[in-house]
Amino acid sequence: MTADGVLPALLEQRRHQTRSALTRRGWVLLVSLLGLGLSALGLFASISSWREGVRPSPLTLILLAFGFISFGVVLGACLIWLFRAKARIVPYFARELGPYPGESAVAFGRGHDLYRSSAALDRLAATLGVRPLSTFGFGDDLYEQPVHWSPPSEGLRTVEALRAGLGGCPSAGPDIARDLDALASVLRIAVAQGVGFALLLRLGGGDAQSAGVFEARSRVGRFW
């Protein structure tokens, strides 16, 4: 993959993850939309009755308002994740390195600038003569894609070279140094434990509970 092909590949991966999420969790959107609509209709009917002199019970109004707000929040969160979620690149390991929270998890909540600066970092890697970061990812087993584990020493060599050569990458994001430092720190742990790693595209926030509990049932690897 060339440096110019990194962002298109990441965008395609993002679309793949979004489509897969819709396939697996589309019922959440449907239930939320249906619940929001029914609650709105109920509130409208109650308000109309009130204007005609028929007062609905306070409990009915409370339940309808609660349903409207609750379903609206769930629907809004789903839509934000689908269309506005920030992407980041995070490390993924063949087995668990340590507990959460801990030193092995410091890179999981970061990586936004690794994503935004991915093409620039690959161009920098080419000038430095090290393996580009994009060659360590971005297949994700949660989305039925193969994950290719790499020796963490190779990843660490790339990350340390990029960190030292950031002066030659003026287009990199403002937090790229901290992203690289966090990635290097967890790769050192992986080197010490002899655990292979890969890089994944992750959408949304830190979501450690989802990654460490719910997804762990379906994943081969671990994020920390």
Considering the domain boundaries, does residue 223 fall inside one? Answer: no
Is 30 in the same domain as 127? no
Considering all CA atoms of the chain, what is the largest pairwise distance in Å, rounded to the nearest integer?
79
Is 139 in the same domain as 176? yes
Among 83, 107, 133, the domain-final residue is 83
Is 25 in the same domain as 76? yes
Is 148 in the same domain as 194? yes
Q: What is the pLDDT of residues 85-105, one digit of tens each?
A: 788 999 999 999 998 888 999
Count: domains in the chain = 2
Q: What is the pLDDT of residues 21-76, one digit of tens each?
A: 777 666 777 888 888 888 888 888 888 887 877 787 888 888 888 888 888 888 87
Q: What is the pLDDT of residues 134-191, one digit of tens each?
A: 999 898 998 889 999 999 999 999 999 999 998 877 767 778 999 999 999 999 999 9
Considering the domain boundaries, does residue 224 fall inside one? Answer: no
Among 83, 116, 136, the domain-final residue is 83
Q: What is the mean pLDDT of residues 213-219?
A: 79
Contact of 172 with 166, CB cutoff 8 Å: yes
Considering the domain boundaries, does residue 65 fall inside one? Answer: yes
Confidence at 222, pLDDT banded by 50, 70, 90? very high
Is 109 in the same domain as 201? yes
Q: What is the 3-state secondary structure (H, E, C) of the chain?
A: CCHHHHHHHHHHHHHHHHHHHHHHHHHHHHHHHHHHHHHHHHHHHHHHHHHCCCCCCHHHHHHHHHHHHHHHHHHHHHHHHHHCCCEEEEEEECCCCCCCCCHHHCCCCCCHHHHHCHHHHHHHHHHHCCCCHHHHEECCHHHCCCCCCECHHHHHHHHHHHHHCHHHCCCCCCCHHHHHHHHHHHHHHHHHHCCCEEEEEEECCCCHHHHHHHHHHCCCCECC
Contact of 223 with 107, CB cutoff 8 Å: no
Is 93 in the same domain as 195? yes
pTM: 0.74
Is 52 in the same domain as 95? no
Contact of 184 with 163, CB cutoff 8 Å: yes
Is 78 in the same domain as 97? no
Give the structural domain span for 44.
3-83
Is 95 in the same domain as 50? no
Is 40 in the same domain as 148? no
Q: What is the pLDDT of residues 103-123, one digit of tens each?
A: 999 999 899 999 999 999 999
Q: What is the pLDDT of residues 197-211, one digit of tens each?
A: 999 999 876 577 777
Is 72 in the same domain as 107? no
Mean pLDDT computed over every residue of the chain: 86
Considering the domain boundaries, does residue 112 fall inside one? Answer: yes
